[in-house]
């Protein structure tokens, strides 16, 4: 039993780390959402495109790997969230479909839709993906509208184990007009969007040696970084004061006041991680906006973002917390222990996870080679 608890937490950590890296890599989407504002001329736009074009696949691949890893380690989340919040995931995927062709096709002759359409595709992905992924992440705290009954599998008339209880299928989380709407989901969606744009600016400053682009990126960085902080800080404060669900030893879930704050106190190393992360993000923003010669802000903010997102997601899953609360039936809520794969699968997958440092090493090596002037 102790053994599986270790692997469940190890995999929650890995999935959280992948999500954190994904949010950092959203600098690609942030950059795409800025193509109209920073790439004013054709040649400037081309510089942005060349720069982002070398990195977009990594964001894309991280998303796919995140999906696969979540499926393998917490299949009940995969089936409940993807099968329930259908529209949110479909819109996210749709935005990535149109992104994947755009970098390759935008300048090719015979591309049917014309350059401006592919440019709009890139913008659409840059807008939709961060907002929707941010909102989806927020449902890890604010819950979804689902019920789970494993016994249904033997009910031939209705064998569905996880079922969504609204017809909005995920859109209720970000759409007004229903009783299931949570403003905070929208707030986190916007926070991730502005964060992606801020990181996009920092990336351009670092990667493109062009004074006009750097100057516009610094201006945009300041605006977007402020917008990000205006959205994210209230979200974080609210989170720390909000109720959550705790799983008791018998598997029953109960409401606990200040759950996420308690989680933070129970794991003091998370406080350190969060503080270092916040300082890193802010320092990167400051040197990116105000130090005209500095191009290194992306590294500080990037690492900071990874640490902050990692902390937030660990708060969601560690300490017997329901990381995907059900707003319809509390006892259907998902925790790392009631939704994970078996010990054997988690252990097997853990062996595979040892490849990850090797993967990071070769990505780093190739990036350096390709960025050589």
Partner 1 sequence: MDLSLIDWSRAQFALTAMFHWIFVPLTLGLGVIMCIYETIYYRTGDEKWKRLAKFWIKLFGINFAIGVATGIILEFEFGTNWSNYSYFVGDIFGAPLAIEGIVAFFLEATFIGVLFFGWDKVSKGFHLASTWLTVGGATISAWWILVANAWMQFPAGMDFNPDTARNELTDFWAVALSPVAVNKFFHTVLSAWMLGAAFVIGISSWFLLKKRNEEFAKNSIKVATLVGIAGIVLTFWTGHGSAQKVAKYQPMKLAAMEGLYEGQAGNELIGFGIVNPAKTLDNDKDAILLKIAFPKMLSWLATNDVNAFVPGIKDLVYGNEEHNIVSVEQKMEYGKVAQEALRTYREAKKTDNSEQAAIAQATLNENMQSFGYGFFHDAKEAIPPVGLTFYAFHIMVILGGYFLLFFIAYWWLNKKGILAKNKLLQLLGLLSIPLAYICSQAGWIVAEVGRQPWAIQNILPVSASVSKIPTTSVQITFFVFLAVFSILLIAELGIMLKAIKKGPEE
Site for partner 1 in 336-365 (CB under 8 A): 341-342, 344-345, 348-349, 352-353, 355-356, 359, 362-363
Residue with tokens 């995907």: 324
Binding mask 32-71 for partner 1 (x = CB under 8 A): ----------------------x--xx-xx-xxxxxxx-x
Tell the smallest beta-carbon distance from residue 284 to partner 1 (Å). 25
Q: Count other C-beta atoms under 10 Å from residue 133's C-beta.
A: 26
45 Cβ contact list (under 8 Å, min separation 6): 35, 39, 119
For residues 241 and 344, which CB has a smaller minimum distance to partner 1 in the complex?
A: 344
Which of 86, 175, 258, 261: binder of partner 1 (CB under 8 A)? 86
User: Taking contact as CB under 8 A, which single stretch among the options 37-45, 74-82, 256-264, 280-288 is the one that binds partner 1?
Assistant: 74-82
Interface with partner 1 includes 110 (CB under 8 A)? yes
Contact flag: residue 372 with partner 1 (CB under 8 A)? yes
For residue 1, count CB atoms less than 10 angstroms from its CB and return exposed for 0-12, middle for 13-18, buried for 19 or more. exposed
For residues 5 and 67, which CB has a smaller minimum distance to partner 1 in the complex? 67
> What is the per-residue binding string for partner 1 in 233-272, x denoting contact by CB under 8 A?
----------------------------------------
In the bound complex, what is the minimum distance in angstroms from residue 98's beta carbon to partner 1? Answer: 7
* Part of the chain binding partner 1 (CB under 8 A), chosen from 28-36, 92-100, 218-226, 290-298: 92-100
Which 135-154 positions form the footprint of partner 1 (CB under 8 A)? 150-151, 153-154
What percent helix, strand, coil does the chain show, rounded to 5? 70, 5, 20
Asked if residue 162 binds partner 1 (CB under 8 A), the reply is yes
Residues 284-313 that bind partner 1 (CB under 8 A): none
Q: How many CB atoms neighbour CB 101 within 10 A?
A: 13
- 3-class DSSP assignment, residue 125: helix
Q: How far is the CB of 62 from partner 1 (least distance, A)?
A: 8
CB atoms within 10 A of CB 304: 21
Residue 251, token pair as written in the block:
């598997």
Contact status: 275 vs partner 1 (CB under 8 A): no
Among 3, 6, 36, 97, binds partner 1 (CB under 8 A): 97
Q: Would you say 297 and 285 are in contact if contact means Cβ atoms under 8 Å apart?
A: yes
203-232: buried (b, 16+ CB within 10 Å) or exposed (e) per residue? bbbbbbebeebbebbbebbbebbebbbebb
Q: Which residue has the tokens 């839709």?
A: 113
167 is a site residue for partner 1 (CB under 8 A): yes
Say whether 72 sits in a helix, a strand or coil.
helix
- List binders of partner 1 among 175-234 (CB under 8 A): none
Q: Tokens representing 210?
A: 């062009």
Residue whose entry in the numeric block shows the structure tokens 């705790």: 246
Q: Which of 9, 10, 37, 90 binds partner 1 (CB under 8 A)?
A: 90
Q: Kindly state the DSSP code that residue 209 receives in the 8-state scheme.
A: -
Nearer to partner 1, 237 or 359 (CB): 359
CA–CA gap between residue 205 and residue 292 (Å, rounded): 10
- Shortest distance, position 343 Cβ to partner 1, whole Å: 9
- CA pair distance 207, 238, nearest whole angstrom: 36
Least distance CB 8 / partner 1 (angstroms): 13
């Amino acid at each position: 039993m102790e053994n599986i608890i270790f692997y469940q937490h190890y995999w929650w950590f890995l999935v959280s780390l992948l999500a954190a890296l994904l949010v950092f890599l959203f600098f690609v989407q942030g950059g795409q959402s800025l193509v109209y504002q920073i790439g004013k001329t054709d040649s400037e736009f081309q510089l942005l495109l060349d720069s982002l074009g070398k990195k977009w696949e990594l964001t894309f691949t991280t998303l796919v790997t995140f999906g696969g890893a979540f499926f393998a380690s917490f299949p009940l989340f995969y089936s409940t969230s993807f099968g329930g919040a259908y529209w949110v995931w479909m819109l996210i995927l749709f935005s990535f479909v149109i992104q994947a062709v755009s970098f390759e096709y935008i300048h090719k002759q015979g591309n049917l839709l014309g350059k401006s359409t592919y440019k709009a595709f890139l913008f659409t992905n840059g807008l939709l993906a961060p907002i929707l992924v941010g909102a989806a992440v927020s449902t890890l705290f604010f819950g979804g509208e689902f019920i789970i009954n494993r016994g249904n599998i033997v009910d031939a008339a209705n064998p569905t184990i996880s079922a969504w209880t609204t017809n909005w299928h995920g859109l209720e989380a970000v759409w007004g007009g229903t009783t299931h709407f949570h403003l905070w989901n929208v707030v986190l969606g916007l926070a991730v969007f502005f964060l992606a744009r801020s990181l996009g600016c920092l990336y351009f400053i670092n990667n493109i040696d062009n004074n006009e682009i750097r100057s516009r990126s610094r201006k945009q960085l300041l605006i977007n970084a402020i917008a990000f902080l205006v959205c994210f800080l209230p979200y974080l404060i609210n989170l720390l004061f909000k109720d959550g669900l705790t799983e008791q030893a018998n598997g029953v879930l109960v409401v606990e006041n200040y759950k996420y704050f308690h989680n933070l106190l129970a794991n003091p190393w998370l406080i350190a991680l969060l503080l270092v992360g916040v300082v890193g993000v802010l320092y990167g923003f400051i040197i990116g906006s105000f130090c005209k010669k500095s191009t290194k802000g992306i590294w500080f903010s990037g690492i900071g973002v990874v640490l902050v997102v990692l902390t937030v997601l660990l708060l969601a899953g560690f300490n017997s917390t329901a990381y995907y609360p059900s707003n319809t039936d509390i006892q259907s809520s998902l925790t790392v222990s009631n939704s994970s794969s078996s010990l054997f699968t988690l252990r097997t997958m853990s062996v595979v996870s040892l490849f990850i440092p090797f993967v990071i090493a070769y990505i780093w090596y190739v990036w350096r080679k390709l960025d050589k002037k």
